Amino acid sequence: MRLAYLGPAGTFSEEAALAQAARDGAVLIPLSSIPALVSAVETGLADRAILPIENSIEGTVSATVDLLIHETSLQICAELVLPVRHFLLARPGTTLGQIRAVKSHPQALGQCRRFLERCLPAAEQIASLSTAAAVAEMMQSGDDSCAAIGTLRAAELYGAEVLAWDIQDHRTNMTRFIVLAAHDAEPTGQDRTSLCFTVKRNVPGALVEVLNELAAANIQMTKVESRPMKSALGDYYFLVDIEGHRRDPHIAEALARMAEKAAELKIFGSYPRHEIGIEEARIPRR
C-alpha cells in the first residue's frame, strides 16, 4: 500500500499521512501539490492519497473540493480528523529575548496572532511557503535571532528546539483529511457519505426541495455548503455530508430521490466516520 501526501516532510499533511500509515501500514510518497496527489492515484503511482479537505478555522480547502467536483472519479475511502498544533521553534540554546523575527506560512502566523502580539510584539513576521520550509530555513540560516512556527515533527526532523508549546489562538483548531482511492469503503454501521449537487432552477425552494429528501428519511446532515460555480456567478454547487453509507437501503433510496430533484448529483464516496471528542480536541498544556 503506497500513500501519497502533500510534502515536504514536517508539515501537518505528513502528520496525517503518518497517522493513516499507522492504521494501514502504508509506505509514504511525498508529492508537491494537491492535483499531483490525485494524478498519482489515477495513474497507479500510488494506491491512495491523503488530502486536507477542511479546517475548523480556515474552512474548506478549495483545491481539494474543486478536484472532487470537476476533475476526478476517485472516491473517498476514509477520513481523519487531526488537531492543529503550532510550536515556536528555534535553534538549540536560543532564548525568547533573542528573537527578533518569526518565520512561518502566513496562515500559521495568523493562527498564532494572539501569542505573537503578547509574547513577541516587536518581532518581524516573515512569510514562508510552508511551516516545514520555515523551520528548515531558520535552522540553515545560522541566525539565533530568528524563530519559526512549525510542527513537533519538523523540530525533530531539523533539530530545532521547542521554545513554546501549543501557541495557536484556538484550542480546538482541527483539520479534516480525506483518503482518496479507486473505490470507497465497505459499510461499517458508523459511516459518512459526501456528495455534491446542483439544483435545476435557481429559484426559491429549489435547494430545500432536495434537502427535504434527507429530512423526510430522517438522515442527519453533518455539513452543507454552497460554492459558486466557476462557469457562472450566482449558480451554486451544494456540498453535503450525511451520516450513513450510500449502500444502506434508506440512504440509497433518499439519494435516488435527491438525484431526481437535483440537476446533477455526484457521490464522492462512503467511508467510516472518524469522530473526535471535544476532550481529545482540546489540547492540554504540555
Residues in contact with a second copy by CB under 8 A are 33, 56-60, 62-63, 105-106, 109-110, 113, 125-129, 170, 172, 174, 202-205, 207-209, 211-212, 214-228, 230-234, 236, 238, 275-278, 281
Cβ contact 152:165 at 8 Å: no
Distance CA 67, CA 55 (A): 17
- Of 96, 69, 84, the C-alpha closest to 228 is 69
Task: Supply the minimum distance, in Å, between the C-beta of residue 129 and a second copy.
Answer: 5
- Of 141, 136, 128, 127, the C-alpha closest to 159 is 136
The nearer residue to a second copy, 181 or 251, going by C-beta atoms, is 251
The DSSP secondary-structure symbol of 160 reads -
Task: Supply the minimum distance, in Å, between the C-beta of residue 108 and a second copy.
Answer: 11
Task: Supply the minimum distance, in Å, between the C-beta of residue 60 and a second copy.
Answer: 5
Task: Supply the minimum distance, in Å, between the C-beta of residue 48 and a second copy.
Answer: 24
The nearer residue to a second copy, 47 or 241, going by C-beta atoms, is 241
Beta strands in the chain (DSSP E): 2-6, 27-31, 48-55, 59-60, 75-83, 87-90, 101-104, 124-127, 146-150, 161-164, 174-181, 191-199, 221-228, 236-243, 262-272
Cβ contact 88:131 at 8 Å: no
Distance CA 117, CA 58 (A): 20
Active site residue 238: no
3-state secondary structure of 271: strand
Kindly name the residue from 12, 87, 115, 177 that is annotated as catalytic. 177
Active site residue 175: yes
The nearer residue to a second copy, 19 or 174, going by C-beta atoms, is 174
Kindly name the residue from 175, 193, 198, 238 that is annotated as catalytic. 175
The nearer residue to a second copy, 73 or 231, going by C-beta atoms, is 231
Q: Write out the catalytic residue numbers.
A: 175, 177
